[in-house]
Structure 1
Amino acid sequence: MSDRICVGAIAGSYGVKGEVRLKSFCADPEAIADFDPLFSEDGTQRYSVTLTHVVKNGFSAKINGVSNKEQAEKLRGIRLFADRDQLPELPDDEFYHADLIGLTVLDTGGNVLGRVKNVQNYGAGDLLEIEGSVLENTVLLPFTKEIVPTVDLAGGRIIADPPEGIYPE
């Protein structure tokens, strides 16, 4: 498990006074402002964020030290990370995406199917992107209790009962 979790991203500048467009990946989108400081992915940059108002697909926000549009635009694409110990505890059946990435995926017979490469969500629920082992290409596996009955973070594995046709025989 990583010491930091991605909680948002800067989508570009907003206006001419140095505000940014901010996408929040938090269950409660406004909670991104509760994490201080936020860090760049490599941990070398620290950001203090103040939400100013809601905009389409996110928020406009002030970031300490950013005072003009050009500075704000240079931050486009930066993913923002919070220290794990600042994040709320999750119920037993919920997981941070970062904790699922890299887990070994086994079928219900104990055969290794691959590893979780990424977690995607295109609007209809989370999908585990599985790569490696018996797969020629990555596959997307719905992350539901029916298809993924067991997630063992301590053991570094997921037990899956994939639908027919996803994995080669």
Structure 2
Amino acid sequence: MVLTGDVITVGRIGRPRGLNGELYISPNTDFLERFENLTEILIKENQSWEIIKVISSKIISGRPVLKFNRVDNPEEAARLTNKLIGVPKEQVFDLPDDTFYLFDLVGCEVYDFVSQKKYGEITEVEQYPSNDIYQVKNLEGKIILVPAVKKYIKEVDINDKKIVIDLTGLEAIL
């Protein structure tokens, strides 16, 4: 079965584990419990998402391990390596106040803290160990990279799709 609609990527399938078709998952979510007690998940095949039945799920050394229906050996499992896995958007976990999902940032309008004028729009969020980087396309079409740290990000309003940034100190890249 193929799913249409909004799907949120929660990880990527990693290498096979053992001889019975289990696969490690490289999650891109802070909620590892998302992978416990799964009965099905979405796998990206070509440009569409397909529902696949999950036979077992567990966390080993802080890493999810899934076993899918009709994947019974390492060779079959290896064919799924590097495929994206996701869930329907309505199944994402609720977050505490003042926190948000990265996918919620894409499309937010960006305003300059000093002038209060619209500066552009977030087109992508890149994740790095030290901090995320917001790709902002300014009104002239130029992409600038803004570190997602309090020094530069002054306000995030997901409901209004508005982010206020202080560009002071970033003049050299503008």
TM-score scaled by length of structure 1: 0.79
What is residue 119 of structure 1 aligned with on the other side? 125
Higher strand fraction (1 or 2): 2
Write out the 4+ residue segments of structure 1 that deviate beyond 6 Å after TM superposition.
none
SS at match of 1:128: strand
Q: Identical aligned pairs, as a percentage?
A: 24
* Amino acid corresponding to residue 116 of structure 1 in structure 2: I
Deviations 1:119-168 (A, max 9, x none): 222211222122343464x3332223442222232332211113423552
Residue 42 of structure 2 is aligned to residue 43 of structure 1 = no
What is residue 76 of structure 1 aligned with on the other side? 81
The answer (yes or no) to whether the contact 2:7–2:89 under 8 Å persists in 1 is: yes
SS at match of 1:16: coil
What is residue 151 of structure 1 aligned with on the other side? 156
What is residue 106 of structure 1 aligned with on the other side? 111
* Amino acid corresponding to residue 21 of structure 1 in structure 2: Y
* Amino acid corresponding to residue 127 of structure 1 in structure 2: I
Counterpart-to-counterpart distance in 2, 1:134 and 1:54? 48
Q: Which moved more, 1:91-100 or 1:109-118?
A: 109-118
Change (3 A) 1:164 1:22: same
Counterpart-to-counterpart distance in 2, 1:80 and 1:130? 27
Deviations 1:84-107 (A, max 9, x none): 333321122111111111222221
Counterpart-to-counterpart distance in 2, 1:11 and 1:77? 6
Deviations 1:42-75 (A, max 9, x none): 32333426334525x7333212221111221111
Counterpart-to-counterpart distance in 1, 2:53 and 2:68? 6
CA-based RMSD of the aligned residues comes to 2.6
What is residue 66 of structure 1 aligned with on the other side? 71
Counterpart-to-counterpart distance in 2, 1:37 and 1:157? 35
TM-score scaled by length of structure 2: 0.77
**How many residues in Structure 1 have an aligned counterpart in Structure 2?**
165
